[in-house]
Amino acid sequence: NAGVTQTPKFQVLKTGQSMTLQCAQDMNHEYMSWYRQDPGMGLRLIHYSVGAGITDQGEVPNGYNVSRSTTEDFPLRLLSAAPSQTSVYFCASSMTSGGFYEQYFGPGTRLTVT
Protein backbone atom coordinates (compact mmCIF):
# COMPACT_ATOMS: atom_id res chain seq x y z
CA ASN A 1 0.00 0.00 0.00
CA ALA A 2 1.20 3.48 -0.87
CA GLY A 3 -0.92 4.97 1.96
CA VAL A 4 -1.75 8.64 1.45
CA THR A 5 -0.05 10.36 -1.47
CA GLN A 6 0.02 14.06 -2.26
CA THR A 7 1.15 15.94 -5.32
CA PRO A 8 2.94 18.20 -5.89
CA LYS A 9 5.52 18.31 -3.08
CA PHE A 10 6.34 21.96 -3.73
CA GLN A 11 4.50 24.72 -5.61
CA VAL A 12 5.00 28.42 -6.16
CA LEU A 13 2.02 30.48 -7.32
CA LYS A 14 1.46 34.12 -8.12
CA THR A 15 -1.36 35.98 -6.41
CA GLY A 16 -4.63 35.32 -8.21
CA GLN A 17 -3.63 32.03 -9.81
CA SER A 18 -5.64 28.89 -9.17
CA MET A 19 -4.45 25.36 -8.65
CA THR A 20 -5.46 21.95 -7.36
CA LEU A 21 -3.59 19.98 -4.71
CA GLN A 22 -4.05 16.28 -5.26
CA CYS A 23 -4.61 13.69 -2.54
CA ALA A 24 -5.20 9.97 -2.93
CA GLN A 25 -5.37 7.02 -0.56
CA ASP A 26 -5.43 3.28 -1.27
CA MET A 27 -6.70 2.05 2.12
CA ASN A 28 -10.43 2.28 1.31
CA HIS A 29 -10.86 4.90 4.03
CA GLU A 30 -14.19 6.69 4.22
CA TYR A 31 -12.94 9.80 6.03
CA MET A 32 -10.53 12.23 4.37
CA SER A 33 -9.48 15.72 5.36
CA TRP A 34 -7.24 18.65 4.49
CA TYR A 35 -5.19 20.65 6.98
CA ARG A 36 -2.88 23.59 6.73
CA GLN A 37 0.13 23.94 9.01
CA ASP A 38 1.51 27.34 9.88
CA PRO A 39 4.33 28.09 12.35
CA GLY A 40 3.13 28.29 15.94
CA MET A 41 -0.46 27.41 15.02
CA GLY A 42 -0.51 23.62 14.79
CA LEU A 43 -2.70 22.09 12.11
CA ARG A 44 -6.03 23.66 11.22
CA LEU A 45 -8.81 21.78 9.46
CA ILE A 46 -9.83 23.22 6.07
CA HIS A 47 -12.40 20.73 4.74
CA TYR A 48 -13.29 17.14 5.36
CA SER A 49 -15.32 14.35 3.80
CA VAL A 50 -17.06 11.37 5.41
CA GLY A 51 -17.56 9.54 2.13
CA ALA A 52 -17.88 9.91 -1.62
CA GLY A 53 -20.19 12.79 -2.47
CA ILE A 54 -20.17 14.25 1.07
CA THR A 55 -18.00 17.17 2.15
CA ASP A 56 -18.13 19.73 4.94
CA GLN A 57 -16.23 22.78 6.12
CA GLY A 58 -13.63 22.81 8.81
CA GLU A 59 -12.13 25.68 10.77
CA VAL A 60 -10.58 27.67 7.89
CA PRO A 61 -12.50 26.90 4.65
CA ASN A 62 -12.46 30.34 2.98
CA GLY A 63 -10.62 30.41 -0.35
CA TYR A 64 -10.68 26.63 -0.77
CA ASN A 65 -13.01 24.18 -2.49
CA VAL A 66 -13.17 20.40 -2.32
CA SER A 67 -15.10 17.58 -3.93
CA ARG A 68 -15.15 13.83 -3.37
CA SER A 69 -16.27 11.92 -6.44
CA THR A 70 -14.51 8.67 -5.46
CA THR A 71 -13.47 7.06 -2.18
CA GLU A 72 -9.80 7.30 -3.17
CA ASP A 73 -9.40 10.95 -4.19
CA PHE A 74 -9.94 14.22 -2.36
CA PRO A 75 -8.52 17.21 -4.27
CA LEU A 76 -8.22 20.68 -2.73
CA ARG A 77 -8.71 23.66 -5.04
CA LEU A 78 -7.38 27.14 -4.43
CA LEU A 79 -9.67 29.44 -6.37
CA SER A 80 -7.59 32.62 -6.40
CA ALA A 81 -4.34 32.26 -4.47
CA ALA A 82 -3.40 34.86 -1.87
CA PRO A 83 -0.14 35.30 0.09
CA SER A 84 -2.06 34.33 3.26
CA GLN A 85 -2.42 30.84 1.77
CA THR A 86 1.33 30.28 1.89
CA SER A 87 1.54 27.20 4.09
CA VAL A 88 2.21 23.49 4.24
CA TYR A 89 -0.87 21.45 3.34
CA PHE A 90 -1.50 17.95 4.65
CA CYS A 91 -4.09 15.48 3.51
CA ALA A 92 -5.18 12.75 5.93
CA SER A 93 -7.50 9.76 5.92
CA SER A 94 -9.01 7.38 8.46
CA MET A 95 -11.37 4.43 8.55
CA THR A 96 -14.57 6.23 9.41
CA SER A 97 -15.24 8.97 11.89
CA GLY A 98 -12.17 11.15 12.21
CA GLY A 99 -12.56 11.41 15.94
CA PHE A 100 -11.92 7.82 17.00
CA TYR A 101 -9.51 6.42 14.52
CA GLU A 102 -5.89 7.01 13.64
CA GLN A 103 -5.37 9.60 10.94
CA TYR A 104 -2.89 8.63 8.21
CA PHE A 105 -1.12 11.69 6.86
CA GLY A 106 0.42 12.33 3.50
CA PRO A 107 3.92 13.84 3.19
CA GLY A 108 2.59 17.37 2.61
CA THR A 109 2.64 20.04 -0.09
CA ARG A 110 4.66 23.17 0.57
CA LEU A 111 2.91 26.09 -1.15
CA THR A 112 4.30 29.59 -1.57
CA VAL A 113 2.15 32.40 -2.96
CA THR A 114 4.02 35.51 -4.10
Partner 1 sequence: AQSVTQLDSHVSVSEGTPVLLRCNYSSSYSPSLFWYVQHPNKGLQLLLKYTSAATLVKGINGFEAEFKKSETSFHLTKPSAHMSDAAEYFCVVSTGGGNKLTFGTGTQLKVEL
Q: Does 73 bind partner 1 (CB under 8 A)?
A: no
3-state SS of 52-78? CCEEEECCCCCCEEECCCCCCECCEEE
Given candidates 19, 27, 50, 52, which one binds partner 1 under the rule CB under 8 A? Answer: 50
x-marked contacts with partner 1 along 14-43 as a string, rule CB under 8 A: -----------------x-x-x----xxxx
Residue closer to partner 1, measured from CB, 17 or 75: 75
b/e per residue, 47-86, with b = 16+ CB within 10 A? bbbbebeebeebebbeebebebeebbebbbebeebeeebb
Q: Does 90 bind partner 1 (CB under 8 A)?
A: yes
Q: Does 11 bind partner 1 (CB under 8 A)?
A: no
Given candidates 85, 87, 93, 103, which one binds partner 1 under the rule CB under 8 A? Answer: 103
